[in-house]
């Protein structure tokens, strides 16, 4: 699930996990992109959220994400 490990002070997960539908939904909301873009980014750069964010052109950490 998306709460595996802590990414530091921001409280963001340390790894992008896309196993369950809820995980995919979390990361799509977190990066404010479609699930397919998150899946493609993880396939391209791995599961490090900072690298995924960079690949998607999103800041990391990003306090104003779509998560409420």
* DSSP string for 29-44: HHHTS-HHHHHHHHHH
- Residue 55 belongs to some domain of the structure: yes
In which domain, by residue range, is 58 found? 17-68
- pLDDT per residue as tens digits for the range 25-49: 999 999 999 999 999 999 999 999 9
- Residue 27 belongs to some domain of the structure: yes
Count of domains for the chain = 1
Whether residue 10 has pLDDT greater than 70: no
On whether the CB atoms of residues 14 and 6 are closer than 8 A, the answer is: yes
- Residue 21 belongs to some domain of the structure: yes
CA distance 55 to 23: 19
Q: Give the residue, 35 or 65, on which the prediction is more confident.
A: 35
């Amino acid at each position: 699930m998306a709460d595996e490990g802590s990414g530091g002070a921001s409280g963001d997960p340390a790894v992008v996990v896309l196993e369950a539908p809820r995980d995919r939904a979390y990361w799509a909301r977190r990066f404010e992109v479609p699930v397919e873009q998150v899946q493609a980014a993880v396939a391209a750069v791995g599961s490090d959220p900072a690298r995924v964010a960079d690949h998607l052109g999103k800041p990391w950490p990003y306090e104003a994400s779509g998560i409420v």
